[in-house]
Amino acid sequence: MKYTDTIYGEFDIDEPVIIEILNSNFFQRLKDISQGGYGFENLFKSHKIYQANRFEHSVGCYFLVKKFGARLEEKVAALIHDISHTVFSHCIDYALSDFPERQDFQDNEFSKYVMKTDLPLIFIKYGLDLNYILDEKNFKLQESDLPDLCADRIEYSLRHFVQYSGFSLDRINYFLDNLTVFDEKFVFKNKESALDFANSFMDLNRIYFSNKETAAMFFTNSNYIKYALEKEYIEYDDLFLTESFVIDKINKNLGLDSILEDLWLQMNSDMSKFVFDDNDFERKIVCKSRVVDPLFIDGDYLKRVSTVDENYKIKAIEENKPKEYYVKYKR
């Protein structure tokens, strides 16, 4: 089958197991799971934002590992790695997790959720080992710890470079052309492209992933979901359906519940309605902060950007610290 992506263009998907997963209901629902969370575009209205979804990102990860020669099991693992994301993505961490800044709720739910889908039967049909595929340690191209690169990290970066930062597709192809694989790791072919990517990623983190707008989104989305669960407007399992379904189900109660009306208003407000003051706040929000420190080829050696660029090393240490915000909604 032919697939057309906004970032990578048209490419072939020819593995039967991939096509079957792609067309399944449980995978199709990812089209209605926002990558960043509800309200991203409104809070960042001064920027040109197109909200990606988890479906696009997941297929993009499949594309990347396939492009760089991954075996079938890793292509499957790349495709399904976000299958357990709930509505509003990482906003749910701030509704349900004791340590939301880890943003690992969907990782903790992954295996349990997979067992509720048709994936085990699909894997049996195609002779794939379920337990092997569910263990991300088997797939270093798809998943690796920070500060290294991996398909997941590269994919959402490239997609956000275009959708949030306005990068041209030529620049995206520049990064792709300068990536290669060494010892099951993504590395850049030279210092220049590695440093360019690292600095661009740092800009994404500072401007979008860990700033005040994102803190306001986590604050409003999580309050809305927590309240809806407490009032039993939705059930826990509803979180694993689609955003449009959950919003419709909750908002049937808008005319009957003034608190819910206020929470919905907050979710749809712009930044002028939020105050950040550690002496007068409703809730402390800690945003996970990320930096990458890519490896690159220098002659016969692999080096990290931070070992050859002192300025980047200093910036990375500071940027990597979690960002704390003390948030209040102005009424």
Q: pLDDT tens-digit profile of 237-291? A: 999 999 999 999 999 999 999 999 999 999 999 999 999 999 999 999 999 999 9
- Could you report how far apart the first and last alpha carbons of the chain are, in Å? 52
> What is the average pLDDT across 94-115?
96
Residue 156 placed within a domain: yes
Q: Residue 85: its pLDDT value, please?
A: 98
Q: 161, 171 in Cβ contact below 8 A? A: yes
- Indicate whether 222 belongs to any domain: no
Is pLDDT at 310 greater than 70 in this prediction?
yes
272 within some domain: no
CA geometry: angle 168, 203, 276, nearest 5 deg: 130
Predicted confidence (pLDDT) per residue in 203-249, tens digit: 999 999 999 999 999 999 999 999 999 999 999 999 999 999 999 99
CATH of the domain at 151: 1.10.3210.10
Confidence band for 47, pLDDT divided at 50, 70 and 90: low
Q: Is the pLDDT of residue 48 over 70?
A: no
In a domain, 279, yes or no: no
Instruction: Report the distance separating Cα 33 and Cα 141, nearest Å.
Output: 24
Provide the domain limits for residue 52: 2-211+289-327
- The pTM of this model reads 0.96
Domain count, the chain: 1
Residue 294 within any structural domain of the chain: yes
Q: What is the pLDDT of residue 52?
A: 87
